[in-house]
Amino acid sequence: MVIARKVFTLDEFTIQQLRNFHNATGELSGLLRDIGLAAKRVNVEVNKAGLADILGEAGIMNVQGEEVKKLDLFANNQFTGVLQHGISCAGIASEEWDDFIAFDDDASRQSKYVCLFDPLDGSSNIDVNVSVGTIFSVYRRLTEKGTSVNLDDFLQPGIRQVAAGYIVYGSSTVLVYATRRGVNGFTLDPSIGEFCLSHSDIKCPAGGKIYSVNHGNFYRFDKKVQRAIKKYQCCTAQQGGPYTLRYIGSMVSDIHRNLLKGGIFMYPPTRDMPHGKLRLQYECNPFAFITEVAGGLATNGHQRILDIVPTALHERSALFIGSSNMMEEWK
């Protein structure tokens, strides 16, 4: 039998990438493998939504005052568990933990990476069968190997990310991750339980026709944002318009689509949320890194997202992100 096409699994791909670096230790591939494992477990659970008792609220609020869903907790426990029991991560921070967690076993203390994540993004979509996701960000720790990580390891500007990625639990389950060398996407083949390379070397188209924003907030946006939205709606075919509005309400799905098709995603400040809604460290930064490596841009409206120096773990930021030609007024 001749197998016509070589299928690259996530593990094979990361190990092959590693061979390009003389002093690579394999820790990053280990970390990505652990994340892939947690993603597969979350995927199984997301697919049982409606059957098992996993829909609805968990009955608690997180540190940001948001209602936590049962699946938020499940995903948080899975990602925390694999990273804690793996040997490639020295500590984590998550949307669902008030504070960072230092893994204090010997193997973890020797690890060089920390990971920040949003275990389940778009959780308001869970109960209605709309795509949700996971977002993650990896930094090299600043503290010495062999010691416990501290808050400084988690408050690094996004430009220092070593890798960032996301998983979309959608009509198929796709894991996309970026390092400085490029962005690649892997689709879960449920028959073998492996993420297989399906989108190699993703580039964000320089132009596009899609804008993604919560239109219900229109009258809470400032005048500049309102003018931009009107322009997207009114510009003529010669000016590349009119644009099409697409807004799923889980940024993983919205930005994944725009990354592949071209487009702009915005979560501007509003009257009620003057610093925006999205979290800098595990929502904005990973997507800013992925998008920039793919050729796009990401700012808070004034400043490049990746240059912002965070001052708190759950800090919020406005976000304008997407195709380079559509980002003119947000640079």
Closest separation in Å from C-beta 136 to ligand AHG: 13
Q: Is 257 in the site for ligand AHG (CB under 6 A)?
A: no
Choose which of 27, 34, 118, 194 interacts with ligand AHG (CB under 6 A): 118
Site string for ligand AHG, 210-229 (x = CB under 6 A): ----x---------------
Residue 46 partner contact from Mn ion, ligand AHG, none using kind-dependent CB cut-offs of 5 to 8 Å: none
Q: Is 122 in the site for ligand AHG (CB under 6 A)?
A: yes
Q: Which is nearer to ligand AHG, 31 or 213 (CB)?
A: 213
Residue 277 partner contact from Mn ion, ligand AHG, none using kind-dependent CB cut-offs of 5 to 8 Å: ligand AHG
> In angstroms, rounded to a whole number, what is the distance separating the alpha carbons of residues 80 and 78?
5
Distances (CA, A) of 93 to 222, 236, 310: 32, 45, 14
Looking at the DSSP bridge assignments, the partners of residue 164 are 137, 178
Site string for ligand AHG, 58-97 (x = CB under 6 A): --------x----------------------------x--
In degrees, rounded to 5, the angle at the alpha carbon of residue 181 between the alpha carbons of residues 102 and 256 is 80
Residue 310 partner contact from Mn ion, ligand AHG, none using kind-dependent CB cut-offs of 5 to 8 Å: none
Looking at the DSSP bridge assignments, the partners of residue 177 are 165, 184
Q: Is 251 in the site for ligand AHG (CB under 6 A)?
A: yes
**Contacting range for ligand AHG; rule: CB under 6 A; set: 52-60, 74-82, 114-122, 162-170:** 114-122
328 burial level (CB within 10 Å; 0-12, 13-18, 19+): exposed
Q: Is 250 in the site for ligand AHG (CB under 6 A)?
A: yes
> In angstroms, rounded to a whole number, what is the distance separating the alpha carbons of residues 194 and 201?
19
Q: Is 121 in the site for ligand AHG (CB under 6 A)?
A: yes
Residue 328's region, left for phi above 0, alpha for psi from -120 to 50, else beta, is alpha
Nearest residue to Mn ion, scored by beta-carbon proximity: 121
Interface with Mn ion (CB under 5 A)? 95, 118, 120-121
Are the CB atoms for 81 and 38 separated by under 8 Å?
yes
Closest separation in Å from C-beta 273 to ligand AHG: 9
Give which of 102, 101, 115 is closest to 147, Cα–Cα: 102
Closest separation in Å from C-beta 182 to ligand AHG: 25
Q: Which is nearer to Mn ion, 121 or 194 (CB)?
A: 121
**Contacting range for ligand AHG; rule: CB under 6 A; set: 7-15, 170-178, 247-255, 284-292:** 247-255
Q: Which is nearer to ligand AHG, 182 or 249 (CB)?
A: 249
Q: Is 109 in the site for ligand AHG (CB under 6 A)?
A: no
Which residues have CB under 8 Å from 220's CB, separation 6+? Answer: 270, 271, 272
Q: Which is nearer to ligand AHG, 70 or 277 (CB)?
A: 277
Are the CB atoms for 242 and 235 separated by under 8 Å?
yes
Identity of the residue numbered 238: Q
Q: Is 185 in the site for ligand AHG (CB under 6 A)?
A: no
84 burial level (CB within 10 Å; 0-12, 13-18, 19+): middle
93: tokens are: 């921070």
Distances (CA, A) of 120 to 189, 207, 292, 308: 21, 29, 23, 24
Positions in the binding site for ligand AHG (CB under 6 A): 66, 95, 118, 121-123, 214, 249-251, 277
